[in-house]
Amino acid sequence: MAKITGAQCLAEMLAGYGVTHVFMVPAVLRRTFAEMERRTKIKRIHTHGEKSAAYMADGYARASGRPGLCMAQVIGALNLAAGLRDAQLAHSPVIAFTGGRDPKTKFRKAYQELDDVPAFEPVTKWNATVDDVSRFPDMLRQAFRVAVSGTPGPVHLQFRGNEGQIDAEEAEMEPLVEPQFDRVPPFRPEPDAKSLLAALQLLQDAERPVIVAGGGVRASGAQSELVMLAEKLSIPVTTSLNGKDSIPGVHPLSVGVCGTYSRESANRVVARADLVCFVGTEAGGMTTHFWAVPKIGVPAIQIDIEPEALGRTYPLRATVLGDAKAVLAKMLEHADAKTAAKRGPWLEQTRSICAEWRAKYRPLLESDAVPVRPERMCAELTRHVPDNGIVVVDTGHAGMWMGGMYDLREPGQSYLRSAGHLGWAFPAGLGAKCGAPDRPVVAFTGDAGFWYHIGEIETAVRWGINSVTVVNNNASGNQSKRGFDRVYGGEQTEKARELWTYRMVNFARIAEDIGALGIRVEKPAELGPAIQHALKADRPVVVDVATDIEALAPLAVV
């Protein structure tokens, strides 16, 4: 076997795994970057911060189903770790490389150096060090294997040397890759027949069942099996926020997103169900409004690829271990369509609950008020996001508005959401566009969220990353308003407002200054044309919408 450098090995293996972009702040693995340029077509996106590099890798991974790569030298390692938290919470296959310590100098107060490895423990599935160059091939293969297998998640490899200089060393190495692990899912474990039939029997016997679909349905690519099973058995479907693209919102069986950042109709349906079927969801706090919807004790069944997830949050009547697509396809094969008739009254009830929701919110979804209402923004996005569009949504109010008020129209549309980090959506949208360059990407964020990584407009312009970012700009983080009003005795005082308001800034002008297309919207009628113009521009675009600072999203219904 020939001797090659770690840099050659790494560059070739990343290309072999189909990596198209890596996101980083220099300087880390410098030689590897030079080898990437010589040997591969991988784009080396250098960003304005390690956290946004991690978010871009995360958006790339969620949009493409392939591991997203991000990197930092030793001094940036904890900034990168901070950015992995959302990937860890969302089960996104991100692989992070950092520079680390050298045995020759560690514990001698080397410049910029700390022991960073422990900080990666809570934000990764696997956290390891590469101390000898001959280990590059097996450690990289294991990184890909862990990132995409079972419930996917982030991996960290720390390379010896503060900038990972170990990549300059040579060893006899074969840059062998395992293509099976270049995307999610590498395996599709089949369910065992007995547990599958037991779960199906409960579903068929139920008079008021509901399916709660989570992000595992997207990871498995099980959307069409899910919808076909729901149709065959006449079962309404709600989703977690992460699973919002399991079924189009306009489908007659869709009742909306349940839980905390939710739609009232979904929680009302779940609360009335006599059986809840969780598919590819952790049934965590956000999805169940902190285990209140449904109440603990309701008859429940769960389908998941991760044995430890089965029954973690709700006691279960039946469990099915397996890949969501494989399990749902088998259920579909064995399902008895004749059992659907008895659920006619339930379907009627769930449809009238959905109609009540729509009638209640129609005036706001169609509002002509100035400043613009966020509900109208959501309705315009429902109308104008293309059939193959990817929507990338921030947390906080952005998550509430879009989770509750936006609808996917087509099975070809995707919805990716922050698992809790404010500021995630804009860089994640850039990463999503890199991961799925042929699909339109529209990020939705508040202004507080947009400020975090506003410098990445320059990255988007420099690398021609043509996503559209729509900013709900109310010159504040007004999701915090209710909480501060409460601690100020229910009154809106000037002092309380200091804690959540900002200056009104025209982000369209900033975007233009940096070289992107900026569109400022101040009237609702301008929204649709602005989104259409942005989608056609083939440039990075910021659509800055001046919205109502007093608009508050409805709270979850229990």
Ligand X SMILES: Cc1ncc(C[n+]2csc(CCOP(=O)(O)OP(=O)(O)O)c2C)c(N)n1
Phi-psi region of 22 (alpha: psi -120 to 50; beta: other; left: phi over 0): beta
Beta partners for 254?
237
Give min distance, CB of 374 to ligand X, in A.
7
Give min distance, CB of 77 to ligand X, in A.
18
Give min distance, CB of 395 to ligand X, in A.
5
End-to-end alpha-carbon separation of the chain, Å?
65
Q: Which is nearer to ligand X, 16 or 420 (CB)?
A: 420
Give min distance, CB of 544 to ligand X, in A.
12
Q: Which is nearer to ligand X, 261 or 463 (CB)?
A: 261
- Rounded to 5°, the CA angle 206-212-213 comes to 130
Give min distance, CB of 444 to ligand X, in A.
10
**Alpha helix segments (H runs only) across 445-492:** 447-452, 456-463, 481-487
Give min distance, CB of 550 to ligand X, in A.
11
Q: Which is nearer to ligand X, 161 or 449 (CB)?
A: 449
Give min distance, CB of 473 to ligand X, in A.
8
Beta partners for 416?
392
Structure tokens at 254: 């869709």
Q: Which is nearer to ligand X, 320 or 545 (CB)?
A: 545
Look at residue 94 and give its three-state secondary structure.
Answer: strand
Beta partners for 96?
70, 156
Give min distance, CB of 472 to ligand X, in A.
5
Q: Which is nearer to ligand X, 126 or 451 (CB)?
A: 451
Give min distance, CB of 479 to ligand X, in A.
3
Among 359, 418, 410, which residue's Cα sits nearest to residue 393? Answer: 418
- Rounded to 5°, the CA angle 557-306-423 comes to 55
In terms of residues, how long is the chain? 558
Give min distance, CB of 449 to ligand X, in A.
4
Q: Which is nearer to ligand X, 179 or 483 (CB)?
A: 483
Look at residue 464 and give its three-state secondary structure.
Answer: coil
**Which phi and psi (to 5°) does residue 519 adopt?**
-125, 120
Residue pair 176/141 in contact (Cβ under 8 Å)? The answer is: yes
Q: Which is nearer to ligand X, 147 or 430 (CB)?
A: 430
> Which residues lie near ligand X (CB under 6 A)?
395-398, 420-422, 446-449, 472, 474, 476-480
Beta partners for 277?
211, 301
Residue pair 435/516 in contact (Cβ under 8 Å)? The answer is: no
Among 97, 58, 51, which residue's Cα sits nearest to residue 74? Answer: 97
**In which order are the strands placed within the sheet that holds 155-159?**
43-46, 21-24, 68-72, 94-99, 155-159, 126-130
Q: Which is nearer to ligand X, 382 or 479 (CB)?
A: 479
Task: Give CA separation, 107 vs 114, 523, 527, in Å.
Answer: 9, 60, 58
Give min distance, CB of 520 to ligand X, in A.
17
Q: Which is nearer to ligand X, 57 or 279 (CB)?
A: 57
Give min distance, CB of 142 to ligand X, in A.
30
Q: Which is nearer to ligand X, 84 or 448 (CB)?
A: 448
Give min distance, CB of 262 to ligand X, in A.
16
Residue pair 70/124 in contact (Cβ under 8 Å)? The answer is: no
Q: Which is nearer to ligand X, 294 or 477 (CB)?
A: 477
Give min distance, CB of 388 to ligand X, in A.
27
Q: Which is nearer to ligand X, 150 or 396 (CB)?
A: 396
Cα(324)–Cα(278) distance, rounded to whole angstroms?
11
Q: Which is nearer to ligand X, 149 or 479 (CB)?
A: 479
To which H or E segment does residue 129 belong?
strand 126-130
Among 228, 248, 49, 29, which residue's Cα sits nearest to residue 140? Answer: 29
Cα(6)–Cα(29) distance, rounded to whole angstroms?
9
DSSP-derived secondary structure for 100-117: ---TTTTTS--TT----H
Q: Which is nearer to ligand X, 98 or 395 (CB)?
A: 395
* Strand pairing class (414-417; 68-72): unpaired
The single-letter DSSP state of residue 499 is T
Among 384, 407, 406, which residue's Cα sits nearest to residue 531? Answer: 384
Positive/negative CA dihedral, 23, 27, 32, 38? positive
**Which phi and psi (to 5°) does residue 219 adopt?**
-55, -35
